[in-house]
A and B are shown apart, each in its own frame.
Chain A
Amino acid sequence: MSATVDAWRVPAGGESAQEVRGSVVVASELARRFGEVDAVRGVSFQISEGEVFGFLGPNGAGKTTTIGMLCTLLRPTSGSALVAGHDVVRERLAVRRSIGLVFQDPTLDQYLSGEENLRFHAYAYGVPKREREQRMRALLELMELWERRKDPVRDYSGGMKRRLELARGLLHRPRVLFLDEPTLGLDPQTRNRIWEYVLELRRREGVTIFLTTHYMDEAEHCDRLAVIDHGEIVALDTPEALKDSVGGDVVTLRAEDNAAAAEELERRYGLSPQPANGTVSFTVAHGEEFLPGLVREFPVPLLAVGVRRPTLDDVFLELTGRAIRDEHADELAQLRRMARMRGR
């Protein structure tokens, strides 16, 4: 781990102004408990203007709760946060004016048209009339929804609804756009397209994006990533640095006798191999150069050997000892998807 939470921790005293400059979101020891459950246990981080910042973690890690506190829907139990320079507890209206939100579950009025949903939003945020129509058109065109703007939202596909919500979230020119699991429940193809739109929006609008996800491929799009587990940030860095922190490449091999192979790897090279699903895997620096030697002199007969760059999955596994997408999490996602489909 090259950079831990501490590198980003805001000083407890008042001297944080220096650090705060240029940061559009500053969270200091933000915590929230629900009854007996500590959903978020004191997270601290800063997000710079224009950054795409991600929260990566399994379901129930505290991602949505953190967003809830930053967008003033939930009151922090302790700690504080500034969004666009405004305190999330004392200046709720000012915070709300400067943020856009796309929630996990759709929050559109299904009985109104796409255009009417946007217009409602513009009224609610007090967007001046002249700007309103221009901006609605520009965003609808960018999201390729202009042709369908008069159709009721209930006739939209899941991907179209998401795009409309993205357009709506940006309508009032927020400084920070919060995306809570922006592609949850969408098929892989639609997910990729949504991401193209998000990155295009960021390029054109220069808006800061805070997103949560439990998809590794999605996390790769972030400039910086906080890995969150059980309500705590366990690592915070660029995706590349996080992957480097695993300590080299991931080698996976299958031997005639996996247990013997693991033992031998430990004895000969001082590695810490982990058996999984009939294979043994370990991380080693410069994997490609390590392999030929291993194959030449390894005493246990090998059946298959592979080497790859570490993924964020490996990072999560390394940090928490668990895979991020365990079966339970998948089940929950499945249930949620079904519930959403019924709601439509």
Chain B
Amino acid sequence: MEVVVRGAWVIAYRELLRYVRERARVISSLAMPLVFLVIFGAGLNRSMGRLTGGVDYLQFMYPGIIAMTVFMSSLMSGLSVVWDREFGFLKEVLVAPLSPAGIVFGKALGAATIALGQALILLLLAPFIGVHVSVMLVLELVPLLLVISFALSGLGLLIASRMHSQQSFQLVMQIVIFPLTFLAGIFFAVNNVPTWMAVVSKLDPLTYGVDAIRRLFLEGQVPATGTPNQLFGVEVLGHTTHAFEDILVVVLLGALLLGAAAVTFGRQE
């Protein structure tokens, strides 16, 4: 147990140390979500008008953008492993008396901390978008984002555990991540799209993360009347998911991915 705990904190410590050293990374990982928020927000807000429940498009998209920031930052945990392997540092880590589970958990913890920090920076934009942020909301948001981030870090680490160059990792990321991100219901409601797309979206685990975050932000602002199920919940086999079901999907997925990543890391060649 001691080797797991020590592994986790020492790896997380170094992730954060690296992060503050690389200013470019701080900026670049915030830039993409911001660009989407500003361009899509400004470009589509007027033409979309009010959505069901009196939410405008920018308000609808904003929680999704926070989710997207968390996805991107979490997946960076995988890039950092590939980076370490390419530059040799991974050997120093793998030969240290640390357990593979500790190393994987530490990478995820580092990524989750960074992801959380970036999401909280985006929260500063809430007043300009017209989304109300209460203390209660932040207190609920933090654990939710951590859970989502751990799950996504698990995906990044699992992919990275078999990759040997940054180029191939980036390639896989583009093939896997962009569809996953765009189908997750960040930019549109997954219950209101053509059937084929709805099917794919509902298979995308990120969809449930986005929905959980969106409910947290907007459920209070939408009047109880009307048909909010266009906006919230994921309709699966005639059942519309509740927030806790969304979270359950993410937790199960995260446990699976992190477990698999720990196993691949621990495998002795």
Contacts and interface: CB of A to CB of B under 8 A. Distances in A.
Contacts of B18: 109, 111-112
B242 interface: no
A125 B95 CA distance: 10
A126 interface: yes
A158 B50 CA distance: 63
A152 to B, nearest CB: 8
B89 interface: yes
Interface centre among A116, A124, A343 (most CB of B within 10 A): A124
Q: How large is the interface on B (under 10, 10 to 19, 20 to 34, 35 or more residues)?
A: 20 to 34
Given A93-B3, A96-B95, A124-B6, A75 B88 contact: no
A101 B92 CA distance: 8
B95 A71 contact: yes
A175 to B, nearest CB: 14
B22 to A, nearest CB: 7
Interface in B76-97: 84, 86-97
Contacts of B10: 120, 123-124
B182 interface: no
A116 B268 contact: no
Q: How large is the interface on A (under 10, 10 to 19, 20 to 34, 35 or more residues)?
A: 20 to 34
Contacts of B269: 73-75
B94 A124 contact: no
Interface string A81-124: 00000000000110011000101011111111000100011011
A73 B94 contact: yes
B14 A125 contact: no
Contacts of B22: 111
A72 interface: yes
B92 A121 contact: yes
Nearest to B267: A75
Nearest to A123: B10
Given A93-B3, A106-B88, 9 more contacts: A75-B269, A97-B97, A107-B92, A108-B89, A109-B14, A109-B18, A109-B89, A125-B96, A168-B92
Interface of A: 71-75, 92-93, 96-97, 101, 103, 105-112, 116, 120-121, 123-126, 168, 343
User: Can you list the 8 inter-chain pairs with the closest CB atoms, starting with the nearest?
Assistant: A107-B88, A124-B96, A96-B97, A123-B10, A107-B92, A107-B91, A75-B268, A97-B97
